[in-house]
């Protein structure tokens, strides 16, 4: 178990907050860390940093832009390709001699571009070649036997892999991969353009939510010293550096720009007004035009701003903080400014619209607490007080970086006043780069000075902080102006000035003015604070802390006012009293929200020793120790029981056991037509049997034509309790074997969610008690997942796989496990992984319960918070008419103009709710372009009529069109799962372990949600999460993977073809190469499952295929044999048992889709089995039987006494016979 799990109760993926201090040193702070780690790699000082989750961009003091791509288990690789073209002539046959009118002999796919092998260059020094050029032997998913050649009549034409009599030309593809190598290091972005602008002074990255394609796409905006704005084209996963800078036309000179994760981009002009980029979309990430927004106050312009998904924060020249109301994708300009508490130098908005800021007084970094989707402006500023890694020990590394800092600031600096110090700093950097920066126009710096405040010299000395960045220099100058000062002085006397008030008209939607007092240090602040009833404690405390910090500052002021001491301070920045002075912060890669538990605020600035002591204290109770004392208590109790009860069992019990009844009211979906919900009384009677075993009966009392009747179910016959997806009612279904056969469960609805959860937990405990089941699922457990994402387990018995009389699978008892997943995979070593709807990977922790199973139904350990995100889709439908074209006016017979996929139900943006009450919206409606069949630029799909098959472009025959809208919703729940960051997955498979085998490392393979094949290292029964991913190269994205008992790895590519991985063994866990396996004729495979020897696959049309002819010497097998149709998913287990999720299973009362089915008659000699047995359903999406290695009992039939015949009953001993046997018929 990871020690992390004990520090934070929720497994949070680690991410980083980036910051630059005033000396230009770059630091990062981990969301699970407690100190700033200096980025030692940075060779020089930085001015700016802007982070995304996968990388961080920075401007260094050489004015170049640097990129730091975080190392990942997934390499960044790019496939270069070129085509070799040949023409046939009667003399040479096929040769490189082409006709003069032909394409180049080496060209791109179109033939228009000349592309010789040696013409390819690495884009920058950050790339390396993975190997040499090689020929692609496959053609459209099929292997060619002709050296990769494909043939055609002429260029350009239709190519086939077979040479025909009229094939006059041929071509083949050459491939070569290059790999980005500059991971976790600051790599300079080469300036490929000679006309590159004057030096950059600001950058901001974002835009990753604008479009998912291409993968890893980012928008990077930059501002040059002359106030021009540039956009970096072409940044995506396989091109992290981007391609080129494009200048963006401007209405004025920009001083700073900010780009949010979505489509918000704002910039501040030199004059203090703001401009907002409009027209940003997936087809135009750069946007089209600018709109102007006025500064919050007419006199004081904005010097800094930060945008998120739905927020804009700004800082005016007097360091006041403003929040822009009403900003969203449709209204990027927002509707009004709200003044916020706090005086900041800069602000940054990170992920989830969380806000970070640097205080203008103390230069500390603050986090805005309480920012939620419903309260985007948050509640309070809270200082991040964690030490830097260099604070205590002067490591040699920090000493050297210190030296370089001294070097950079140069000897003269010390003799200068602070102001000119900063000035020189700029000059210095400009001089150093005189080559590429011909002139740093000095007037840009003078500009703000043209309007100096006359009384500036009269200002009392205040703490001065050296500036590294050019515009923080400006802000320093303007912050010295009168308005800021006066407001500060007025603060305590007139708290109203500092209150959060709305400048523009409109109702106050932010919280009541809460902290007018908090900014004003001194006793008067406390008094005025009392007026406000909702001043919360934390705010008061942070105010105290800040007052303390302010006091420390003012104490420093006297010493710093002399230049000499200041110089000293520069020489010894690690002085004991020095708190870090920050220049810049970026939270763009920092994944926190208002619920995150961070360790950043626990300590005050100079209490490192305290932190250390706390750390050592919390470490003093290790899990092992706590386990020890728990076990001790348990053992002592056992001894007590032995002493006090065991010898006296014949004594009478003081309290006689009796029946306990729990009653309630509910609604029941009545059994007879017309079906509807009717009110019923509901009762659970529980009683203990003579042996202490428990049982119960469930009663449902209803009225039938004024007559009282009831329905009952014995608790020990209930096989499952399933929460049912329903957006208006809190419903669940109760199944017994009988009800499963009917496909007609008892459907019940509780009045509230809480009531339903109470009943479900109670009934679940009652069912488990009656069957004597408690504690976590066994290693053999069968896991399944419903379409609602609920997870169920069933404990198999040896009889489940018995032949010829297995336990019918409608008798299997399923109990729910907390959490929310799309799929689960496991093996019999107890290693269980799950994948969420948002593709997050989760590992099972060994607990049980969670979710609404609390108290007795849940383990107290190993339960963590779990989140999942999924999209809800609705369709906008339109019909063409000759007058107005496409409109939302349909024919009377048409579907709703806003509907679900079927068109039968009206679903408008306003009335569509999240799938269940536990889900909350986390995004707005947006057009979904990733619909199968493709869409046009506005997301429309066209068809001749409803319902029909849709295509992505309009033709003359199309009269209707539709487009899909998606909205994300999020679930917060708990369960025995811990996240395995950071790569999102779409499939996972774990090696089937023979029972009792103590394998050290268990092979686990996965497919990332982008189709990369991955192999997990370090997975053992004790460390089921493993340690890191090993990337396995493929020439195309994959979608399904499975590993059998003898390490046979099969996979399905996105194009529907199958692959076998050669030479996988414990010594070579990743194998060596892929063997292409042709799909069944005209079918695209979608999923594969490999058991001990059997290989089964499901195709996109629901057919189940068995792989014939698989032998140890020829593991690829020979052909696919059709087994069944209407199959959604297959799971083959370690006994070669075959279980599927089937569509359309007819019961006596109803038909169900998504039903668990078991293949009967599977035997070593008959791996394909004979028929299906139907279990729980419908609504099931996934099952895995890969943990069940329980051998069925061997039937000793009297006639089978001959030992040679007996061996057929023991599958292990006949393995070879079986394999050889099946080879014969292939």
CB of 661 to other proteins, least distance (A): 10
Given the rule CB under 8 A, which of 375-383, 469-477, 655-663, 728-736 is the region that contacts other proteins? Answer: 655-663
Q: Before 839, cis peptide (omega within 30)?
A: no
The first and second tokens of residue 112, run together, are 């228009």
Q: Before 982, cis peptide (omega within 30)?
A: yes
Q: Does 331 bind other proteins (CB under 8 A)?
A: no
Q: Which of 634, 704, 710, 1075 binds other proteins (CB under 8 A)?
A: 634
Site for other proteins in 859-898 (CB under 8 A): 859-862
CB of 626 to other proteins, least distance (A): 4
The first and second tokens of residue 581, run together, are 């002075």
> Between 137 and 755, whose beta carbon lies closer to other proteins?
755
Q: How does strand 841-844 pair with strand 832-835? A: antiparallel
Q: Does 690 bind other proteins (CB under 8 A)?
A: no
CB of 12 to other proteins, least distance (A): 13
Q: Which of 1, 490, 927, 948 binds other proteins (CB under 8 A)?
A: 1
Residues in the chain: 1226
Q: Which of 164, 394, 643, 712 binds other proteins (CB under 8 A)?
A: 643
Given the rule CB under 8 A, which of 141-149, 191-199, 489-497, 631-639 is the region that contacts other proteins? Answer: 631-639
* CA dihedral of residues 267, 268, 274, 279 (deg, nearest 10): -10
Given the rule CB under 8 A, which of 20-28, 476-484, 669-677, 844-852 is the region that contacts other proteins? Answer: 844-852
Q: In this structure, are residues 573 and 391 in contact, taking their beta carbons and an 8 Å threshold?
A: no
> Between 420 and 622, whose beta carbon lies closer to other proteins?
622
The C-alpha atoms of residue 964 and residue 125 are separated, in whole angstroms, by 43
Neighbours of 68 (CB within 10 A): 23
Q: Which of 554, 626, 665, 1213 binds other proteins (CB under 8 A)?
A: 626
Q: Does 492 bind other proteins (CB under 8 A)?
A: no
The C-alpha atoms of residue 63 and residue 24 are separated, in whole angstroms, by 13
Q: With the C-alpha atoms ordered 459, 460, 462, 466, is the resulting torsion angle positive or negative?
A: positive
CB of 609 to other proteins, least distance (A): 12
Residues near 882 by Cβ (< 8 Å), separated by ≥ 6?
none
Given the rule CB under 8 A, which of 101-109, 530-538, 755-763, 1097-1105 is the region that contacts other proteins? Answer: 755-763
CB of 596 to other proteins, least distance (A): 10
CB of 849 to other proteins, least distance (A): 9
Given the rule CB under 8 A, which of 65-73, 159-167, 721-729, 842-850 is the region that contacts other proteins? Answer: 842-850
Q: Before 214, cis peptide (omega within 30)?
A: yes
Q: Which of 157, 512, 551, 627 binds other proteins (CB under 8 A)?
A: 627
CB of 847 to other proteins, least distance (A): 6
Given the rule CB under 8 A, which of 189-197, 276-284, 503-511, 616-624 is the region that contacts other proteins? Answer: 616-624
Centroid of chain to Cα 175: 32
> Between 650 and 708, whose beta carbon lies closer to other proteins?
650
Q: Does 845 bind other proteins (CB under 8 A)?
A: yes
Q: What is the total count of residues that contact other proteins (CB under 8 A)?
A: 59
Output the CA–CA distances (angstroms, integers) from residue 760 to 720, 768, 814, 846, 919, in the order listed: 10, 12, 13, 22, 19
DSSP state string for 232-300 = EE--BTTBTT-SEEEEE--SS-EEEEEE-SSS-EEEEETTS-EEEEE--BTTBTT-SEEEEE--SSSSS
The C-alpha atoms of residue 155 and residue 195 are separated, in whole angstroms, by 40
The C-alpha atoms of residue 417 and residue 566 are separated, in whole angstroms, by 10
Site for other proteins in 588-607 (CB under 8 A): 597, 602
CB of 641 to other proteins, least distance (A): 6
Q: Does 644 bind other proteins (CB under 8 A)?
A: yes
Q: How does strand 355-359 pair with strand 1085-1090? A: unpaired
Site string (928-957) toward other proteins, x via CB under 8 A: ------------------------------
Q: Which of 194, 450, 533, 653 binds other proteins (CB under 8 A)?
A: 653
The first and second tokens of residue 361, run together, are 């007084």
Q: In this structure, are residues 278 and 291 in contact, taking their beta carbons and an 8 Å threshold?
A: yes
Q: With the C-alpha atoms ordered 787, 788, 790, 795, is the resulting torsion angle positive or negative?
A: negative
Q: Does 660 bind other proteins (CB under 8 A)?
A: yes
> What is the maximum alpha-carbon separation in the chain?
113
The first and second tokens of residue 59, run together, are 């401007």
Q: Which of 15, 35, 219, 686 binds other proteins (CB under 8 A)?
A: 686
> Between 853 and 940, whose beta carbon lies closer to other proteins?
853
> Between 157 and 627, whose beta carbon lies closer to other proteins?
627
Q: Does 64 bind other proteins (CB under 8 A)?
A: no
> Between 395 and 638, whose beta carbon lies closer to other proteins?
638
CB of 183 to other proteins, least distance (A): 34
Q: In this structure, are residues 736 and 717 in contact, taking their beta carbons and an 8 Å threshold?
A: yes
Q: For every residue of 490-518, which 3-state class applies, written as one string?
A: HCCCCHHHHCCCECCCCCCCCCCCCCCCC
Q: Does 665 bind other proteins (CB under 8 A)?
A: no
Output the CA–CA distances (angstroms, integers) from residue 751 to 6, 98, 671, 697, in the order listed: 37, 79, 20, 22
CB of 922 to other proteins, least distance (A): 21
> Between 643 and 1196, whose beta carbon lies closer to other proteins?
643
> Between 664 and 890, whose beta carbon lies closer to other proteins?
664
Q: Which residues pair with 881 in a beta bridge?
A: 885
Q: Does 752 bind other proteins (CB under 8 A)?
A: no
Q: Does 1148 bind other proteins (CB under 8 A)?
A: no
CB of 473 to other proteins, least distance (A): 41
CB of 656 to other proteins, least distance (A): 9
Centroid of chain to Cα 576: 41
Q: Which residues pair with 711 in a beta bridge?
A: 700
Q: Does 637 bind other proteins (CB under 8 A)?
A: yes
Q: Does 651 bind other proteins (CB under 8 A)?
A: yes
User: Which candidate, 228, 320, 299, places its Cα nearest to that of 269?
Assistant: 228
Q: Does 765 bind other proteins (CB under 8 A)?
A: yes
Residues near 322 by Cβ (< 8 Å), separated by ≥ 6?
296, 302, 313, 314, 315, 316, 337, 338, 339, 340
User: Which candidate, 288, 321, 285, 286, places its Cα nearest to that of 305?
Assistant: 321
Given the rule CB under 8 A, which of 330-338, 652-660, 668-676, 781-789 is the region that contacts other proteins? Answer: 652-660
Q: Does 716 bind other proteins (CB under 8 A)?
A: no
Q: Does 854 bind other proteins (CB under 8 A)?
A: yes
Given the rule CB under 8 A, which of 53-61, 347-355, 852-860, 908-916 is the region that contacts other proteins? Answer: 852-860
> Between 714 and 1114, whose beta carbon lies closer to other proteins?
714
> Between 726 and 859, whose beta carbon lies closer to other proteins?
859
The C-alpha atoms of residue 40 and residue 93 are separated, in whole angstroms, by 61
Q: In this structure, are residues 1099 and 1106 in contact, taking their beta carbons and an 8 Å threshold?
A: no
Q: Does 537 bind other proteins (CB under 8 A)?
A: no
Q: Which residues pair with 927 in a beta bridge?
A: 965
Output the CA–CA distances (angstroms, integers) from residue 427 to 48, 63, 255, in the order listed: 17, 12, 18
DSSP 455: T
Q: In this structure, are residues 1138 and 1159 in contact, taking their beta carbons and an 8 Å threshold?
A: yes
User: Which residues of this chain interact with other proteins, rule CB under 8 A?
Assistant: 1, 5-6, 9, 597, 602, 610, 613-614, 617-618, 620-621, 623-624, 626-627, 629-631, 633-634, 637-638, 640-641, 643-645, 647-648, 651-655, 657-658, 660, 662, 686, 758, 761-762, 765, 769, 774-776, 845-847, 854-856, 859-862
């Amino acid at each position: 178990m990871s020690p992390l799990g004990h520090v934070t109760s929720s497994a949070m993926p680690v991410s980083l907050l980036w910051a630059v201090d005033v000396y230009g040193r770059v630091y990062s702070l981990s969301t699970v860390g407690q100190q700033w780690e200096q980025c030692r790699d940075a060779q020089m000082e930085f001015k700016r940093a802007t982070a995304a989750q996968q990388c961080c961009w920075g401007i260094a003091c050489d004015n170049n832009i640097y990129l730091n791509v975080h190392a990942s288990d997934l390499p960044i690789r790019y496939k270069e390709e070129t085509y070799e073209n040949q023409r046939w002539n009667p003399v040479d046959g096929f040769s490189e001699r082409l006709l003069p009118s032909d394409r180049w002999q080496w060209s791109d796919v179109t033939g228009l571009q000349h592309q010789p092998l040696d013409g390819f260059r690495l884009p920058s020094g950050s790339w390396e070649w993975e190997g040499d050029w090689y020929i692609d032997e496959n053609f459209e998913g099929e292997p060619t036997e002709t050296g990769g050649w494909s043939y055609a009549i002429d260029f350009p034409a239709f190519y086939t892999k077979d040479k025909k009599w009229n094939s006059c030309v041929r071509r083949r593809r050459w491939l070569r991969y290059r790999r980005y190598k500059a991971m976790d290091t600051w790599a300079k972005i080469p300036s490929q353009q000679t006309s590159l602008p004057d030096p950059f002074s600001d950058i901001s990255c974002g835009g990753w939510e604008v479009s998912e394609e291409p993968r890893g796409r980012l928008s990077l905006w930059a501002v040059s010293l002359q106030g021009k704005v540039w956009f970096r084209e072409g940044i995506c996963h396989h091109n992290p550096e981007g391609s080129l800078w494009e200048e963006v036309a401007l209405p004025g000179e920009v001083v700073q720009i900010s780009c949010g994760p979505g489509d918000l981009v704002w910039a501040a002009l030199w004059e203090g007004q703001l401009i907002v980029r409009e027209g940003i979309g997936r087809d135009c990430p750069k946007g089209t035009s600018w709109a102007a927004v006025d500064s919050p106050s007419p006199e004081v312009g904005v010097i800094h701003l930060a945008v998120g998904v739905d927020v804009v924060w700004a800082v005016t020249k007097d360091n006041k903080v403003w929040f822009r109301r009403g900003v969203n994708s449709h209204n990027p300009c927002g509707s009004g400014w709200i003044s916020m508490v706090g005086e900041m130098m800069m602000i940054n908005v990170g992920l989830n619209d969380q806000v970070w800021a640097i205080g203008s007084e103390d230069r500390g970094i603050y986090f805005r607490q309480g920012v939620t989707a419903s309260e985007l402006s948050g509640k309070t500023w809270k200082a991040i007080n964690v030490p830097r890694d260099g604070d205590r020990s002067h490591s040699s590394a920090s000493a050297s970086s210190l030296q370089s800092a001294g070097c950079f600031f140069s000897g003269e600096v010390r003799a200068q006043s602070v102001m000119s110090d900063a000035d020189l700093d700029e000059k210095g950097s400009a001089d150093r780069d005189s080559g590429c920066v011909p002139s740093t126009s000095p007037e840009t710096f003078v500009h703000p000075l043209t309007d100096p405040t006359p009384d500036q010299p009269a200002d009392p000395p205040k703490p001065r902080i050296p500036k590294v960045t050019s515009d923080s220099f400006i802000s320093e100058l303007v912050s010295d102006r009168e308005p800021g000062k006066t407001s500060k002085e007025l603060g305590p006397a007139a708290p109203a000035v500092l209150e959060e008030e709305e400048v523009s008209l409109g109702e106050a939607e932010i919280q009541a003015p809460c902290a007018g007092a908090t900014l004003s240090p001194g006793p008067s602040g406390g008094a005025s604070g009392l007026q406000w009833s909702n001043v919360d404690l934390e705010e008061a405390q942070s105010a105290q802390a800040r007052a303390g910090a302010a006091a420390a500052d003012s104490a420093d002021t006297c010493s710093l006012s002399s230049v000499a001491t200041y110089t000293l301070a520069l020489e010894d920045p690690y002085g004991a009293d020095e708190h870090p002075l920050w220049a810049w912060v970026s939270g763009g890669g920092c994944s926190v929200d208002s619920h995150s538990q961070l360790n950043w605020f626990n300590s005050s600035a100079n209490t490192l020793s305290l932190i250390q002591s706390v750390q050592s204290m919390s470490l003093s109770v290790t899990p092992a120790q706590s386990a020890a004392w728990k076990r001790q208590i348990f053992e002592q109790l056992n001894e007590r029981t032995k002493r006090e009860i065991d010898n006296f069992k014949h004594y009478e019990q003081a309290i006689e056991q009796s029946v306990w009844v729990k009653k309630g009211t509910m609604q029941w979906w009545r059994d007879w037509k017309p079906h509807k919900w009717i009110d019923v009384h509901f009762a659970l009677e529980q009683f203990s049997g003579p042996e202490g075993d428990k049982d119960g009966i469930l009663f449902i009392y209803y009225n039938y034509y004024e007559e009282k009747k009831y329905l009952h179910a014995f608790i020990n016959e209930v096989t499952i309790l399933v929460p049912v997806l329903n957006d208006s009612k809190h419903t669940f279904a109760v199944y017994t074997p009988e009800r499963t056969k009917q496909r007609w469960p008892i459907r019940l609805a509780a009045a509230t969610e809480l009531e339903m959860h109470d009943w479900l937990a109670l009934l679940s405990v009652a069912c488990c008690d009656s069957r004597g089941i408690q504690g976590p699922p066994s290693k053999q457990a069968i896991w399944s997942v419903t379409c609602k994402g609920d997870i169920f387990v069933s404990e198999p018995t040896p009889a489940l796989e018995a032949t010829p009389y297995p336990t019918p699978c409608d008798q299997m008892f399923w109990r729910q496990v907390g959490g929310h997943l799309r799929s689960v995979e496991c093996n019999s070593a107890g290693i269980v992984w799950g994948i969420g709807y948002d593709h997050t990977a989760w590992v099972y922790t060994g607990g049980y319960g969670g979710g609404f199973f609390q108290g007795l139904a849940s383990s107290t350990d190993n339960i963590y918070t779990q989140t999942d995100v999924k999209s809800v889709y609705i369709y906008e439908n339109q019909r063409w008419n000759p007058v107005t074209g496409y409109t939302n006016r349909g024919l009377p017979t048409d579907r709703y103009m806003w509907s679900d996929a079927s068109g039968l139900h009206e679903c408008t943006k306003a009335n569509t709710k999240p799938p269940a009450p536990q889900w909350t919206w986390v995004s707005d409606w947006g057009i979904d372009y990733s619909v199968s069949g493709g869409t046009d630029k506005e997301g429309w799909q066209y068809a001749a009529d409803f319902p029909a098959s849709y295509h992505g472009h309009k033709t003359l025959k199309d009269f209707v069109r539709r487009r899909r809208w998606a909205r994300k919703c999020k679930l917060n729940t708990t369960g025995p799962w811990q996240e395995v960051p950071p790569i999102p997955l779409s499939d996972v498979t774990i090696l089937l372990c023979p029972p009792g085998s103590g394998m050290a490392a268990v092979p686990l393979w996965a497919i990332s949600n982008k189709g990369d094949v991955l192999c997990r290292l370090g997975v053992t029964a004790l460390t089921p999460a493993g340690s890191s991913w090993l990337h396995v190269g493929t020439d195309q994205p994959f979608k399904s993977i499975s590993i059998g008992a003898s390490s046979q790895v099969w996979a399905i590519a996105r194009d529907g073809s199958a692959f076998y991985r050669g030479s996988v063994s414990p010594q070579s866990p990743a194998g060596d190469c892929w063997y292409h396996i042709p799909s069944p004729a005209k079918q695209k495979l979608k999923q594969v499952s490999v058991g001990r020897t059997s290989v089964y696959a499901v195709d996109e049309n629901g057919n189940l295929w068995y792989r014939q002819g698989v032998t140890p010497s020829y593991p690829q097998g020979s052909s696919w044999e059709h087994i069944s149709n209407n199959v959604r998913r297959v799971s083959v287990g370690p006994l070669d048992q075959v279980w599927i999720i089937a569509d359309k299973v007819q019961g006596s009362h109803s038909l169900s889709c998504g039903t668990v089915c078991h293949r009967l008659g599977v035997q070593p000699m008959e791996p394909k089995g004979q028929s299906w047995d139907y279990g729980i359903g419908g609504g099931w999406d996934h099952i895995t039987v890969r943990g069940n290695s329980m051998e069925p009992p061997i039937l000793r039939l009297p006639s089978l006494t001959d030992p040679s015949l007996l061996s057929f009953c023991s599958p292990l001993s006949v393995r070879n016979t079986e394999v050889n046997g099946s080879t014969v018929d292939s």
